Structure 1
Amino acid sequence: MAKTGKRTAAARAAFEGKNNLSVAEAVALIKANAKTKFDETLDIALSLGVDPRHADQMVRGVCALPNGTGKTVRVAVFARNEKADEATAAGADIVGAEDLMEAIQAGKIDFDRCIATPDMMGIVGRLGKILGPRNLMPNPRVGTVTMDVKAAVEAAKAGEVQFKAEKGGVVHAGIGKMSFDEAKLAENIKAFVSAVNKAKPAGAKGTYMKKIALSSTMGPGVALDVASAVGE
């Protein structure tokens, strides 16, 4: 049996018996026990009452976090001519067309967000099996297929987070760094929960938001009081 370190044991003890906490209580508990040598990410996981295998129960959207993610986001843009220039001027890290497609097909995927102008979707469509499983496929529903590449690049760089219900109806995301103060983390949590709540699909039956859990990268998880988290 693997030996549990002192820090891990102490964190588990601090979290023991703690459930259905308010956002403020959960953030305070997690911050107090995030003691690694690197700046951990605050992760959120929402268990939803949906089956994403059905089109009318898919949950997908985007959330502009009020305080950003604390992470440097690398953005790739499929565009030509003046739109390519616009993307570069807005701060895109990679801009291209067929050359970018070939790089991705060769396994070079060194970006966190992919944006495309509508006329480029014929090329981007060939990458569905590569980008889709990584949640990187441009999609007009989340604003990543657009002619306004400047706004899309700037939003991605500012800390906009995309979300999508995965198998089992779980949505998860990194929504800040543990170096953020408690108020900023709480604001990000509330904004993300609100965005997922507003994305409730027409086909959802029964309880939509079943469970919300928070954790730091290396720490234990703690469950929020769903009603208060949604209502805050």
Structure 2
Amino acid sequence: MAKVGKRLKAAHEGIDREAFYDLPQAVHLIRERATAKFDESIEVAMNLGVDPRHADQMVRGVVELPHGTGKTMRVAVFAKGAKAEEAKAAGADLVGADELAADIQNGTIDFDRCIATPDMMGVVGRLGKVLGPRGLMPNPKLGTVTMDVATAVKAAKAGQVQFRVEKSGIVHAGVGRASFTEEKLVDNVRAFVDAINKAKPTGAKGTYLKKVSLSSTMGPGLKVNLGTISGAA
């Protein structure tokens, strides 16, 4: 059996893993126990009453967290001419067309979000096997295939979060850092849960939002009382 270190043992003291905590209290306890030597990510995980194998039960979308994620996002944009210049001015880290596609095919993927103008999808489409498994393929439903590249780049840089439910019905995302104030983390969690509720698919039957839990990168997970999350249902 693996040995439990002193830091992890201390992180579990004073909490009940089976109890349901009000959101502000859960945030306080998680943040208080995020004692690693780096700024731990605070993550939310949600169990949904959906079967994503059915198209009418897929949950996917984007949400702009009010206080960002605390993560520096590197953004790549497929565009030419004026749109390429627009992307650069908005703060895109990589901008290009065929040459950018060649770099990606050769294994250089130094970005967290990929955006493309519609006319570039012929080039980007050939990268599906590379970008798809990494969740980086531009998609018009997520606002990453657009002529308004400046807005898309700024949104990504500001902390926009993409979400997609897994086969097991779980959706999760980072909603901030341990260095955030408790108020900011509460706001971000509520914004994320609200976005999931608004993305409820037409085919969802019965209880849609089953369970929400909160954790830090190196700390314990806590169950959250759904009634204390605004908009939860």
TM-score range, shorter chain: over 0.9
Q: How large is the Cα RMSD of the aligned pairs?
A: 1.2
Contact 2:75/2:93, CA 8 A, preserved across alignment: yes
Contact 1:45/1:172, CA 8 A, preserved across alignment: yes
- CA distance in 2: counterparts of 1:10 and 1:170, whole angstroms: 28
Cα deviations across residues 57-86 of structure 1 (Å, max 9, x unaligned)?
111111100001111000000101110010
What TM-score results when the alignment is normalised by the length of structure 2?
Answer: 0.96
Contact 2:56/2:202, CA 8 A, preserved across alignment: yes
Cα deviations across residues 95-135 of structure 1 (Å, max 9, x unaligned)?
11111111111111110000000111111111112211211
Match of 2:43 in 1: 43
Match of 2:187 in 1: 187
- CA distance in 1: counterparts of 2:14 and 2:159, whole angstroms: 31
Contact 1:58/1:201, CA 8 A, preserved across alignment: yes
AA of the residue aligned to 2:126: R
Contact 1:15/1:220, CA 8 A, preserved across alignment: no
AA of the residue aligned to 2:140: P
AA of the residue aligned to 1:209: L
Deviation at 1:18, TM superposition (A): 5.4
- CA distance in 2: counterparts of 1:125 and 1:161, whole angstroms: 23
Contact 1:197/1:230, CA 8 A, preserved across alignment: no
Greater Cα shift, 162-171 or 185-194: 162-171
Cα deviations across residues 163-211 of structure 1 (Å, max 9, x unaligned)?
1111211111111010001000000000000001100011111111111
Match of 1:79 in 2: 79
| 1:134 pairs with 2:142 | no
- CA distance in 1: counterparts of 2:63 and 2:17, whole angstroms: 31
- CA distance in 2: counterparts of 1:30 and 1:227, whole angstroms: 19
- CA distance in 1: counterparts of 2:53 and 2:47, whole angstroms: 15
AA of the residue aligned to 2:170: V
Deviation at 1:16, TM superposition (A): 2.6
Percent of residue pairs bearing the same amino acid type: 64
Match of 2:60 in 1: 60
AA of the residue aligned to 2:147: M
Cα deviations across residues 23-61 of structure 1 (Å, max 9, x unaligned)?
101000101111111100001111111111211111111
- CA distance in 2: counterparts of 1:61 and 1:141, whole angstroms: 7
SS at match of 2:13: helix
Count residues with an aligned counterpart. 232
AA of the residue aligned to 2:134: R
Deviation at 1:230, TM superposition (A): 4.5
- CA distance in 1: counterparts of 2:209 and 2:126, whole angstroms: 35
Contact 2:17/2:223, CA 8 A, preserved across alignment: no
Describe the shift of the 1:186–1:104 C-alpha distance in structure 2 as closer, same or farther (beyond 3 A): same
- CA distance in 2: counterparts of 1:84 and 1:15, whole angstroms: 51
- CA distance in 2: counterparts of 1:129 and 1:199, whole angstroms: 27
SS at match of 1:24: helix
Describe the shift of the 1:130–1:119 C-alpha distance in structure 2 as closer, same or farther (beyond 3 A): same
What runs of 5+ residues in structure 2 fail to find an aligned partner?
none
